[in-house]
Amino acid sequence: PISAPAAKLTRSQTAARAAYVLAGNDRGRLTVAAPHLYPHMWSWDAAFIAMGLARVSTRRALTELETLLSAQWRTGMVPHIVFTDDETGYEPGPRRWACREVCPDAPGHVATSGLIQPPVHGVAVRRILDAARIAAAGERQEVVERIRAMWPALLAWHRYLATRRDPEERGLVTIYHGWESGLDNSPRWDAPYAAVIPAPGFVPFRRADLHALSALGGAAAQRPSDADYTKYQWLVEELRRARYDDERAHRTLSFRMGDVLTSALFVAANEELATVADELGLPGADELIGYADRFRRGVLGTCDESGFAADVDLRDGTVVRTPTIAGFAPLVSGGLDAARRRALVERLMSADWCGHPGFVHALPPSTSPASPDFDPVRYWRGPQWPPMTWLLIWGLERSGEQEAAHMLREAAIDQLADGLFAEYYHPFTGEPLGARAQSWTAAVALDLLA
């Protein structure tokens, strides 16, 4: 357990504690997302963890990605959860997913979920290669060889997303579940979830998350509601009935959204991997750039006049525009003209977002405080999430918006100086919420402080 320090930590103390937290969550070849609430490996958490670990050990960082990719499905899909062998009680657990039992594409040697999460892994690969620049020659050589060895799996993952998750080539990644977006109960999904109606007789299973959170002293108000959870469980059931077959899922699922933030992250990951291909002489650079171009067009096609992006309901083509952090997707994908990019950055820094006068830290909230759906404690409906802050800092830096990036970076470092590495933070009180010693929060701290 990690206790609150009496005073704000210095930068080097914060970094040291972050490394300690990651070491504590290390199970050898994978890092659990958090000790109690998330005792398994999560896909996009693993990518962030690898970026943080790259600052400590490029070798251990690569191991994280190798473990994740060793659970890849035959289709190229990288699952959103890789289960450890432990009986942790996390729900839905391996028995509920039953992937190996119903789908021949699932790996046989390890239990996984049957969903995806945002594909930020290419960003991690790029950063590991960058971190190896200052390493000894032998370590750099090993990093290059191990990236070379995982290259076919990375390409297969991107190919899976570009084909099975975008069969009509709209340039938007299709998600089958809010969990796939990583922003589970964001107001983005409220309207589409209205169409998710469990069949009569469906009995939801007991929630394990509330139990784990209350053991940590947290309240149920910080997690998704029961009504939401029943829908989450029902969608897993629908997917299991479709035997995790993408073609069948596209026809039968009651939730199918074009996720604009996942699409923007896919653009960025394709571009990052293309630079790795060029640098190491690996195949596929043109293919990756082609995906980046298609999905960038997809993201930009959803933007309003100020460059704010939206999701698309693929069941009927409805554009779902909500004031959530996903609207800033073009700052990650790039491609806006300078005027619209400026307008979007100004919006991000305005009182409706980071610049709200009541915020303790001027950081992006998951949902705008100006929205009627804003809730300062409930998960993705308001709190500030350090990995999302990291993504925006990274996107702003890539877009040449150095001043805004610098402001967010300083505010983020100040938030993380509480030394708790909480899952998310209350924007108005600064209070830590959700899990503590959350691995990706510690990883983000390590990277920002390096």
* Chain residues that interact with ligand 9WN, rule: CB under 6 A: 33, 38, 42, 44-45, 80, 179, 182, 184, 209
The minimum distance between CB 324 and ligand 9WN, in angstroms, equals: 13
**Residue 45, token pair as written in the block:** 């958490």
> 418 or 423: whose CB is closer to ligand 9WN?
423
Q: Which is nearer to ligand 9WN, 151 or 421 (CB)?
A: 421
Catalytic annotation, residues: 184, 423
**Which is nearer to ligand 9WN, 33 or 65 (by Cβ)?**
33
CA-nearest of 292, 287, 284, 243 to 264 is 292
Residue 38 Cβ vs ligand 9WN, minimum distance, rounded to whole Å: 5
Determine the length of the chain. 450
- Token pair belonging to 119: 């594909």
Q: Which residue's CB atom is positioned nearest to ligand 9WN? A: 182
- With respect to ligand 9WN, which residue has the nearer C-beta, 80 or 347? 80
DSSP 105: T
Contact 173, 262 (CB under 8 A): yes
CB atoms within 10 A of CB 130: 14
Q: How far is the CB of 200 from ligand 9WN (least distance, A)?
A: 26
Q: How far apart are CA 2 and CA 11, in angstroms?
A: 18
Burial class (CB in 10 A: 0-12, 13-18, 19+), 428: middle
The 3 state secondary structure assigned to 310-358 is CEEECCCCCEECCCEHHHHCHHHHCCCCHHHHHHHHHHHHCCCCCCCCC
The HSE-up count of residue 15 (CA atoms within 13 Å, CB side) is: 12
Residue number with CB closer to ligand 9WN (179 or 266): 179
Q: How far is the CB of 80 from ligand 9WN (least distance, A)?
A: 6
Residue 17: CB minimum distance to ligand 9WN, A: 19
